[in-house]
Chains A and B, each alone.
Chain A
Amino acid sequence: MTPLPILPAPEGPRPTVSLRARRAPLAAPALQLGALAAVAVEGGPTGTGDFGADLAASGWPALTPAPLEIFQVNVGKLCNMTCRHCHVDAGPDRTDENMDRATAEACVAALDRILAAPDAALHTVDLTGGAPELNPHFAFLVEAAVERGLHVIDRCNLTILTTRRFAHFPGWLAERGVEVACSLPHYRRLGTDAQRGGGAYAKSLEALRALNAAGYGQGDPRRRLTLVTNPVGAFLAGSQASMEAEWKAALARDHGIAFDRLIALNNMPISRYLEWLMEKGLVEVYLERLVNAFNPAAIDGLMCRNTISIGWDGRLYDCDFNQMLDLGAALPATPRPHVADFDLAAWQARRVVTARHCYGCTAGAGSSCGGATA
């Protein structure tokens, strides 16, 4: 028998599919929460690894909301990419969890109720996914928010803009003054492709050039181009202010690309990033780094305090991470509160639901969808 030829390894990192498509047990939120809870923790203000206790020791006996400013809608888990660290477990195989029209309309109705409140502080609609552009009601949500005078953020993976179907999107978004917040882990190729898949860096540069050509990244507040970086590994995000200057110089020098601001986020130890930590044997190391870097000054600006997170099915959460862990917002009305029943007074009166993953947002300079919080 002739031995089989040894095939060269394909270029780029190992292809990834979603935990759910692989029927991986870790797809279950309870297993993720359990894996974090099982780690022995010594650091932090109380040395207990109890997030609530560390909050209380830092002057926050209860994590109470600030006025609601940001309406974040996760329109679905469908994505053209399968990044190694995705906390949503998004991917091309997640086709059935996508917001429908009725739910999108319920979101707009909730916006109107919030804006009608005399003390309304809401200023931003933040659209995320998956690749939010892939949802058929994305344009409806953008137009509805713009008509209401709200700032709109498209959390964009960049590569989607290089597909024929979305090639016109930079111009379409620019006409509506939509901020584009783009994932780019590093301004160089190595780390970007390691996290987001082989070829992602080249496509990301192509998309950034298209956004620049549409007027993005030149300091125009109606064409704001934000880059979002998270670490390609088991370490915390660096200082976004320090890195921003370096990134701007390097992207201009190497590729003639401009952007407006850089925000740096920590990776949340859940879903596929947790899977990666487990494979590397780094769950304890990473959790210890997060807990040891617990920063009380980051609490006040946590996004769970000024943001509502809405799932593709209309369910309400304190943040996108709690959404992925199936930790619904603690509202009195129902066990699984829905956007159709949204009540601003009840929302402002709630307590934020927390667990160990929350150390991801209080570590170092703090971490939220808007960047550092401290």
Chain B
Amino acid sequence: MDTYYQLNHLPRFGEIAGGSKPLADAFFSYYGKVFEDGALTAREKALIALAVAHAVQCPYCIDAYTNESLAKGADLEQMTEAVHVACAIRGGASLVHGLQMLDHAKAQLM
């Protein structure tokens, strides 16, 4: 293993049960339920997951939820807009901290 990320880690995700099967079972059962059709459709949840995958910059999640969004009937424009939502929130999160900078600077400027 010469890099931190390995392509085969995603299909091998289930092997995490080797350390604790009860915790893995509980997680995967919960995970499956989260993505079922509910008040939000499975497609909407896949698009949220795609956006979050970009925010947390998880390459496994980006691959998985690109596939999942397509499989749930989203098109490329919808998926791109979802990524822009993540981008806007991340950008806005940086920029709104500018107010902290502003207040802190103002307190010591003429």
Chain A hits for B75, CB < 8 A: 186, 188, 190-191, 232
Return chain A residues, CB-CB under 8 Å to B77.
188, 190
A interface residue count range (under 10 / 10 to 19 / 20 to 34 / 35 or more): 10 to 19
User: Pick the contact of B76 from A190, A229, A242, A246 — CB < 8 Å?
Assistant: A190
| B54 on interface, CB distance cutoff 8 Å | no
Segment at the B interface, from A145-153, A162-170, A233-241:
A233-241
Across the interface, which residues of A come within 8 angstroms of B76, CB to CB?
Answer: 190-191
Q: Is A213 an interface residue (CB 8 A)?
A: no
Q: Please tell me the number of chain B residues within 8 Å of chain A, measured between CB atoms.
A: 13
Q: Which of A202-247 contact B (CB under 8 A)?
A: 229, 231-233, 235-236, 238-239, 242-243, 245-246
Shortest C-beta distance, B102 to chain A (Å), equals 42
List A contacts of B42 (CB < 8 A).
Answer: 239, 242
- Chain B residues touching A, majority SS: helix
| Contact between chains at B70 and A242 (CB < 8 Å) | no
CA distance A117 to B73 in the complex (A): 43
| Highest count of chain A CB atoms <10 Å: which of B43, B73, B77 | B73
Return B35 CB to nearest CB of chain A, in Å.
Answer: 11
Contacts of B67 in A (CB 8 A): 235
The interface residues of chain A lying within 8 Å CB-to-CB of B70 are 231, 233, 235
Question: B21-40, CB under 8 A of A: which get 1 and which 0?
Answer: 00000000000000001000
Q: Given the interface contacts A242-B37, A242-B43, A243-B43, does A235 sit within 8 Å of B71 by beta carbon? A: yes
Interchain nearest-CB distance for A266 vs B (Å): 11
Measured CB to CB, the residues of A under 8 A from B are 186, 188, 190-191, 229, 231-233, 235-236, 238-239, 242-243, 245-246
Instruction: List 29 A–B pairs whose Cβ atoms lie within 8 Å, in order of A's numbering.
Output: A186-B73, A186-B75, A188-B75, A188-B78, A191-B75, A191-B76, A229-B73, A231-B70, A231-B71, A233-B70, A235-B67, A235-B70, A235-B71, A236-B71, A238-B71, A238-B72, A238-B73, A239-B42, A239-B72, A242-B37, A242-B42, A242-B43, A242-B72, A243-B43, A243-B72, A245-B41, A246-B41, A246-B43, A246-B73
